[in-house]
């Protein structure tokens, strides 16, 4: 049996490497680059109740070692996804569905539909999107709203484990992590993007149509690793670590800080086969260092 296998919330994954929501479409787009079934799991683009066209104007800006995006949750809506997309996906690896809403009612409605889709293995509650006017991050930067929403969604999710995706745009991420754990979250994923902006010096105005966007990529990684390290000390539930992973060394840092799974986002845009390189890199590291089981690495930096 492969030494990379990992049990995550009762499900056996081939390895701890997954893709991040919004950076991997619905998975099919990458079939030409590699076999998607080699991934531990895939996390799909954030879904809302109704179709969304996303934000107007410029939605992406490059930064040193990263990017700012303000896509604004463009997606076809959960019913279209259920009826026209999920049944046609050709891969078999486990799926995480990232759910979103502008109100508690919308989150619950999406969760109810997602709960009945057999092909979905895990639900990720996104309370950290910085690119929508209502809902999103507003729920995730306050312990009480984060806790209440988690409780309400957990109640309707009778068939799937619940991961809550945390925002780094807070004073103390451990407080939010503890609140959602108390509310019944089975896992936390961190981090989403950092609220950021860029000014166009030619027009002397904000570049992005939405003015603000979320910063991701290599430039955020040391902050994300610090947050995973802190949250590992604060909660008992497993952590999905992400933020700026660009090679297998980065992924190992997240695992040593306390992540059970590592998720690859923006790095895929410049290197579409990055997830496979990370899987192979971790496998070689384990062999070279005579590590018997990948689980030994999780949180090892705390020992």
Ligand X SMILES: Cc1cc2nc3c(=O)[nH]c(=O)nc-3n(C[C@H](O)[C@H](O)[C@H](O)COP(=O)(O)O)c2cc1C
Residues forming the site for ligand X (CB under 6 A): 20-23, 45-46, 69, 71, 73, 98, 126, 129, 165, 192-193, 216-217, 220, 242-245, 264-267
Which residues participate in the annotated binding site?
21, 45-46, 69-73, 98, 126, 165, 191-193, 217, 243-244, 265-266
Q: Which is nearer to ligand X, 108 or 227 (CB)?
A: 227
Nearest to 284 by CA among 249, 254, 256: 249
Least distance to ligand X from the beta carbon of 271, Å?
12
Rounded to a whole number of angstroms, the minimum distance from the CB of residue 197 to ligand X is 15
What secondary structure does DSSP assign to 126-178, as a single string?
A: E---TT-SSSGGGGTSSHHHHHHHHHHHHHH-SSS-EEEEPPS-SS-HHHHHH
Q: Is 5 helix (H, G, I), strand (E, B) or coil?
A: coil
Of the CA atoms within 13 Å of residue 263, those in its CB half-sphere come to 29
Q: How far is the CB of 216 from ligand X (least distance, A)?
A: 3
**Between residues 7 and 273, which has the closer beta carbon with respect to ligand X?**
273
By the 8 A CB rule, do 267 and 288 touch? no
CA 31 to each of CA 42, 43, 269: distance values in angstroms, whole numbers, following the listed order: 12, 15, 14
Q: Where are the beta strands (DSSP E) in 4-79?
A: 6-8, 11-13, 17-19, 42-43, 60-63, 66-69
Helix (H, G, I), strand (E, B) or coil at 267: helix
In the complex, minimum distance from the CB of residue 204 to ligand X, in angstroms, rounded to a whole number: 26
Q: Which is nearer to ligand X, 223 or 301 (CB)?
A: 223
What is the spatial distance between Cα 289 and Cα 271, in angstroms, rounded to a whole number? 27
Task: Find the residue with minimal CB distance to ligand X.
Answer: 22
Residues with Cβ within 8 Å of 33's Cβ and at least 6 positions away in sequence, in order, are 272, 273
Q: Assess contact for 85 and 237: CB atoms under 8 A.
A: no
20 vs 179, beta carbon nearer ligand X: 20
For the CB of residue 1, give the shortest distance to ligand X in the complex, in Å.
Answer: 29
CB closer to ligand X, 55 vs 202: 55
- Could you tell me the maximum CA-CA distance found in the chain, to the nearest angstrom? 58
Binding residues for FMN: 21, 45-46, 98, 126, 165, 191, 217, 243-244, 265-266
In angstroms, the CA 246 to CA 266 distance is 9
**Catalytic residue ranges:** 129
Binding-site entries for substrate: 45, 69-73, 126, 192-193
């Amino acid at each position: 049996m492969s030494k990379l296998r990992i049990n995550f919330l009762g499900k056996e994954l081939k390895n701890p490497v997954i893709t991040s929501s919004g950076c991997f479409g619905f998975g099919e787009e990458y079939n030409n680059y590699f076999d998607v079934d080699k991934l531990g799991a895939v996390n799909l683009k954030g879904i809302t109740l109704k179709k969304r066209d996303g934000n107007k104007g410029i939605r992406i800006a490059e930064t040193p070692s990263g990017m700012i995006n303000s896509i604004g949750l463009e997606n076809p809506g959960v019913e279209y996804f259920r009826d026209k997309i999920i049944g046609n996906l050709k891969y078999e690896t486990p799926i995480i569905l990232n759910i979103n809403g502008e109100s508690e009612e919308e989150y619950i409605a999406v969760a109810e539909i997602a709960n009945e889709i057999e092909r979905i293995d895990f639900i990720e509650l996104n309370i950290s999107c910085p690119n929508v006017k209502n809902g999103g991050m507003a729920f995730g930067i306050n312990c009480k709203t984060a806790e209440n929403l988690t409780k309400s969604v957990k109640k309707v999710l009778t068939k799937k484990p619940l991961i809550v995706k945390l925002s780094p745009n807070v004073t103390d991420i451990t407080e939010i992590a503890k609140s959602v754990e108390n509310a019944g979250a089975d896992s936390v994923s961190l981090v989403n993007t950092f609220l950021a902006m860029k000014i166009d010096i030619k027009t002397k105005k904000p570049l992005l149509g939405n003015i603000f966007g979320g910063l991701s990529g290599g430039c955020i990684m040391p902050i994300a690793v610090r947050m995973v390290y802190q949250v590992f000390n604060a909660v008992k539930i497993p952590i999905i670590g992400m933020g700026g992973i660009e090679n297998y060394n980065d992924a190992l840092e997240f695992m040593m800080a306390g992540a059970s799974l590592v998720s690859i986002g923006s790095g895929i845009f410049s290197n579409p086969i990055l997830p496979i390189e990370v899987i192979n890199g971790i496998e070689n590291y384990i062999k070279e260092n005579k590590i018997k089981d990948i689980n030994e690495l999780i949180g090892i930096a705390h020992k």
